[in-house]
């Protein structure tokens, strides 16, 4: 297997070695660019039920606006005492956005 990977110029790194290397990096060494509202946060792949399967880019603005709607919706008023029953597959964009909103509120997710 290692020989096949090396032919493809792919190297194998053990997780413990990765942790050691990461521990030696000082904070701020590799500054990250701040995302803009239209920066792609994730992809949502469709199943193709209404057309060919495809990947849709979901921006920070898309996800945060949905999550904010959950957090600030007066009828929901969820707290850390509530439990959210996650029933959609996590790749579903609505489920991911709902999870962000629930996590932001401290709601337990099952």
Number of domains in the chain: 1
Looking at the domain assignment, is residue 99 inside a domain?
yes
Beta bridge partners of 43: 57
**Domain extent at residue 91:** 34-109
Q: Where does the pLDDT of residue 8 fall: very low under 50, low under 70, confident under 90, or very high at 90 and above?
A: confident
Domain for residue 11, yes or no? no
- The confidence score (pLDDT) of residue 2 equals 65
pLDDT at 10 over 90: no
Indicate the pTM of the whole model: 0.55
């Amino acid at each position: 297997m290692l020989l096949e990977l090396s032919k493809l110029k792919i190297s194998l790194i053990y997780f413990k070695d990765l942790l050691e290397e990461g521990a030696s990096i000082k904070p701020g060494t590799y500054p990250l660019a701040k995302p803009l509202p239209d920066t792609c946060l994730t992809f949502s792949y469709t199943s193709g039920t209404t057309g060919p399967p495809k990947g849709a880019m979901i921006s920070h603005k898309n996800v945060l606006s949905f999550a904010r709607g959950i957090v600030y919706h007066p009828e929901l008023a969820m707290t850390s005492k509530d439990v959210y029953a996650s029933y959609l597959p996590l790749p579903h964009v609505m489920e991911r956005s709902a999870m962000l909103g629930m996590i932001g509120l401290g709601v337990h997710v099952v």
